[in-house]
């Protein structure tokens, strides 16, 4: 399947650009690096029985067996990658899967189905489009053994409720409000560029990009100025334009939501770049950075899921860790500083499922990506991401008594 995606990746990228508006480099990254990368990784994994006990009286083995039929519901922000991130472990575990596309990005996922239709037996991978009713029918179906969902926390709660009557297994990767903490020993000239990149990656439409940036008093003004300059120098345009660096918000409902956050940011803090949304075709929101805000404002407490970044001042390490952890979300977080050991100690105090030091959202198919608190539960990625697609069985064998 990975080879088939890569065989004509430019054509796949054209469709992804048309459907999401993202720049070509980002579309190619989703297909060639993420989608193909996760498929290739899970293609290498093999699950064998584990020997737990063997003595003169017994042999105990731990087996992992396929669950049966898996239902996967994918979001619109990375429709090919997230579909493959669910298809790959489901098949590696020996299951079949039904994938429901996001209503606003069905084409690239359906095209994936066409590409792989001659590779797997009929019925092993099933891709269908539809709205909320289709998703509800799928997750409540008695023949579904497991549901894996990536999307909003609100929808995740509804899926849990629908799965309860039949006690389906559930993996939920939900919303995030990732905090990044810049320590006082950080060098602004070194960390500003990667912080900018992972705050506005895919125009902020990623669950695990930086959503709240906490900066120490001593660096606050310099960091605000550096990030504002980068935003002002960026090109916002349709992904069809060769020099586009950032694309539009993908759909009208999300566009209106992000516009609401921008207006709130203008009231609650000081917008230092962006903030003015022009009338015209396309759901374009300029990269917007707001300073002099704090908890208690929606732009800090909630997830815009768009190109809006609040920069929050702090002076005490213990205080900023407490503030970062106060969110009901706990998907990812990062700490930035010159003393890597000290930064790692601070990172270990964060409650998020993934923490990074001097980087953010560093996804790797071999590295588990868990979710905590209201960002979901379960894990994707790595060998640990394969286990939820398997049922455990212990085989306990009595040995005949010695003659």
**Gap between the Cα atoms of 367 and 385, Å rounded:** 9
207 is catalytic: yes
Q: Dihedrals φ, ψ of 63, to 5°?
A: -110, 150
303 is catalytic: no
Catalytic position from the list 19, 30, 84, 207: 207
Give Cα separations from 11 to 245, 336, 367, 383 (angstroms): 20, 38, 30, 32
What DSSP string describes 100-138? EPPTT-HHHHHHHHHHHTTTS-TTTEEEE---HHHHHHH
Q: Which of 84, 197, 93, 209 is nearest to 146 (CA)?
A: 93
> Measured in Å, how far apart are the chain's first and last C-alpha atoms?
55
Q: Which of 28, 9, 365, 328 is nearest to 154 (CA)?
A: 328
Catalytic position from the list 19, 30, 163, 173: 173
Packing angle, helices 220-232 and 188-197, rounded to 10: 50
**Gap between the Cα atoms of 327 and 186, Å rounded:** 24
User: For residue 125, what are the β-bridge partners?
Assistant: 97
Packing angle, helices 106-116 and 9-20, rounded to 10: 160
**Gap between the Cα atoms of 38 and 67, Å rounded:** 21
H or E segment and range at residue 195: helix 188-197
Tokens of 142: 């008695």
**Gap between the Cα atoms of 21 and 247, Å rounded:** 6
Give Cα separations from 30 to 22, 63, 84 (angstroms): 11, 34, 10
Q: Dihedrals φ, ψ of 209, to 5°?
A: -90, 170
Catalytic residues: 173, 207
């Amino acid at each position: 399947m990975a080879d088939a995606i890569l065989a004509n990746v430019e054509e796949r990228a054209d469709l992804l650009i048309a459907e999401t508006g993202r720049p070509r480099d980002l579309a190619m990254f989703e297909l060639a690096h993420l989608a193909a990368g996760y498929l290739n990784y899970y293609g290498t994994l093999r699950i064998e029985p584990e020997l737990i006990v063997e003595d003169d009286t017994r042999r105990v083995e731990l087996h992992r067996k396929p669950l049966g039929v898996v239902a996967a519901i994918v979001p619109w922000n990375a429709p090919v990658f997230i579909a493959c991130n669910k298809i790959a472990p489901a098949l590696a575990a020996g299951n079949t899967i039904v994938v429901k596309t996001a209503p606003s990005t069905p084409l690239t996922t359906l095209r994936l189905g066409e590409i792989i239709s001659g590779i797997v037996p009929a019925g092993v991978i099933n891709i269908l489009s539809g709205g909320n009713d289709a998703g509800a029918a799928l997750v409540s179906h008695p023949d579904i053994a497991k549901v894996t969902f990536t999307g909003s926390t609100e929808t995740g709660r509804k899926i849990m409720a629908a799965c309860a009557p039949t006690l389906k297994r559930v993996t939920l990767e939900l919303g995030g409000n990732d905090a990044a903490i810049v320590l006082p020993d950080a060098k602004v000239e070194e960390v500003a560029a990667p912080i900018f990149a992972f705050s506005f990656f895919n125009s902020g439409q990623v669950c695990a990009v930086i959503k709240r940036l906490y900066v120490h008093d001593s660096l606050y003004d310099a960091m605000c100025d550096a990030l504002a300059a980068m935003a002002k120098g960026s090109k916002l345009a349709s992904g069809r334009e060769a020099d586009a660096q950032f694309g539009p918000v993908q759909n009208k409902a999300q566009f209106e939501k992000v516009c609401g956050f921008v207006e709130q940011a203008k009231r609650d803090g000081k917008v230092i770049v962006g903030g003015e949304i022009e009338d015209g075709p396309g759901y374009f929101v300029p990269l917007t950075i707001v300073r002099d805000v704090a908890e208690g404002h929606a732009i800090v407490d909630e997830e815009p899921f768009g190109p809006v970044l609040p920069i929050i001042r702090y002076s005490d390490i213990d205080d900023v860790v407490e503030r970062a952890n106060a969110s009901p979300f706990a998907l990812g977080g990062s700490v930035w500083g010159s003393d890597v050991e000290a930064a790692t100690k601070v990172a270990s105090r964060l409650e998020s499922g993934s923490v990074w030091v001097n980087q953010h959202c560093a996804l790797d198919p071999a590295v588990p990506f868990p979710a905590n608190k209201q960002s979901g539960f379960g894990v994707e990625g790595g060998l640990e991401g394969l286990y939820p697609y398997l049922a455990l069985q212990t085989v306990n064998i009595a040995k005949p008594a010695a003659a």
